[in-house]
Structure 1
């Protein structure tokens, strides 16, 4: 398990977060910024400082991918944490890799035994949490990718969560798979109580379910809130070199837009407020 990191003084309220890393950054990104856990920790710490009053962020992390030296943590390792964040990944959230199935078992145990934990996920993390609750995750019907700087249309819930009157936000995307429809109590195999409402907060032209929300329990985003220009370009480069992205014209256009201003801090601030319990009554 990674070292606990604290960016706060003892007087600040502090969010204790377990970051489950489902991938590693491009080597150049890793050299410049560290692991995905470190990148996300710094991103949330920045928005925590801007919160009124400021919030501290304490994080621990576990790298999950067993074939690259990772492991699935035990439930006891979450004892001091009340927030879980699952990162993006180059792996398919609908896959049956042993570590993915073990992760689902862990999440099922946490969901059942720890009703105090709030869950969030980014890209793969969003998809795996929706899969946990019985939603279908699959490649987009057109088999195309949603890449780079993208417009996400917000509904009224999304505007409340992100505290904006604007009808859209802009975030970086890096996915071909999507959540086909949000989970329901009927799909969840008992994890959701009857009558639980799982709300979608926004959509894009490519993806109907850009994130889901259950007050006090779940807030996910398909888009990457902590990506910057260099990370977008490197992640696209990795996927082109692996052959995952074969539309190089689309990839080049996405890389060219990577420098555009995006709302990553707005999204992180919304998830931090969710972890802090501030927006439980807005749905």
Structure 2
């Protein structure tokens, strides 16, 4: 079976490394849509057909509860895709957006979770196949999922917030498995402009060494596992079509 076609819904604002980072980590053909600029893929057909096998939703500098017209359109799209059973993976903002769109709740934390953090895995989900009980990932967010959608399962967490959930073939991860060290340093330094105390920014930058960042390599496994989920969904659909 051919590699799955992925629609990357880039919710970042302006020129960012989001597309570059996701293309590097996703071992599959990727078509990018800058949804924050109202660039969307075609809608699913009346028969449920759609040209992509899976969706990845990026991070963003916005909050999911901001009143932006493009967010309303995106919510309609992901709701339809979820109902069709199209596998989706939201990262950071994307994680929060999927949770909220499907009936959960997101709220401000009152502070930034910024830096390398230990994530505890709670569930034997296919998204974390091969992961240990605890792993390191990079975090940068000031909103969090405080209530999961009905029927969702919390897959991982930190001492600060929910770090992953699943609802059928829809997944969200709060951490950034796609970040390279350059992105970590650039994003962290920009937090000074957002009011994050200089001493906190400096401490995170001091910790952003090649050796420390190498510890996040395991977190990138969510991408390979997500592609495996997509392959399993495709296989079941082929088998189902063959028995009709």
TM-score using structure 1 length: 0.73
Within a 5 Å distance, the mapping from 1:172-211 to structure 2 comes to 172-184=138-150, 197-207=151-161, 209-211=162-164
**Are 2:96 and 1:127 equivalent residues in the alignment?**
yes
Contact 1:21 1:86 in 2 (8 A): yes
Q: String of CA shifts for 1:246-271, please: whole Å, max 9, x gaps.
A: 22222221222223121232222222
Contact 2:123 2:154 in 1 (8 A): no
Task: Report the CA distance shift for 1:234/1:165 in structure 2 as closer, same or farther (over 3 A).
Answer: closer
Long gaps (5+) in structure 1: 1-11, 46-56, 185-196
Structure with the higher fraction of residues in helix conformation: 2
Contact 1:138 1:177 in 2 (8 A): yes
Q: String of CA shifts for 1:221-253, please: whole Å, max 9, x gaps.
A: 001111022101111222322x2x422222221
Contact 1:154 1:168 in 2 (8 A): yes
Contact 2:152 2:165 in 1 (8 A): yes
What is the aligned length?
226
CA shift for structure 1 position 165: 6.2
Name the CA distance, whole Å, in 1 between partners of 2:21 and 2:131: 29
**Are 2:39 and 1:71 equivalent residues in the alignment?**
yes
Long gaps (5+) in structure 2: 236-244
The aligned residue for residue 254 of structure 1 is 204
Name the CA distance, whole Å, in 1 between partners of 2:188 and 2:92: 15
SS in 1 for 2:30: strand
Alignment RMSD (CA, Å): 2.3
Name the CA distance, whole Å, in 1 between partners of 2:82 and 2:130: 30
Task: Report the CA distance shift for 1:87/1:165 in structure 2 as closer, same or farther (over 3 A).
Answer: closer
Contact 1:82 1:116 in 2 (8 A): no
Within a 5 Å distance, the mapping from 1:5-84 to structure 2 comes to 13-23=2-12, 35-45=17-27, 57-66=28-37, 70-76=38-44, 79-84=50-55
The match for 1:267 among 222, 231, 238 is: 222
The aligned residue for residue 239 of structure 1 is 191
SS in 2 for 1:152: strand
SS in 2 for 1:157: coil
The aligned residue for residue 88 of structure 1 is 59
Contact 2:152 2:166 in 1 (8 A): yes
Name the CA distance, whole Å, in 2 between partners of 1:105 and 1:92: 17
**Are 2:116 and 1:144 equivalent residues in the alignment?**
no
CA shift for structure 1 position 65: 1.5
Name the CA distance, whole Å, in 1 between partners of 2:225 and 2:41: 27
TM-score using structure 2 length: 0.83
CA shift for structure 1 position 163: 2.8
Contact 2:166 2:172 in 1 (8 A): yes
Contact 1:138 1:178 in 2 (8 A): yes
Name the CA distance, whole Å, in 2 between partners of 1:204 and 1:83: 27
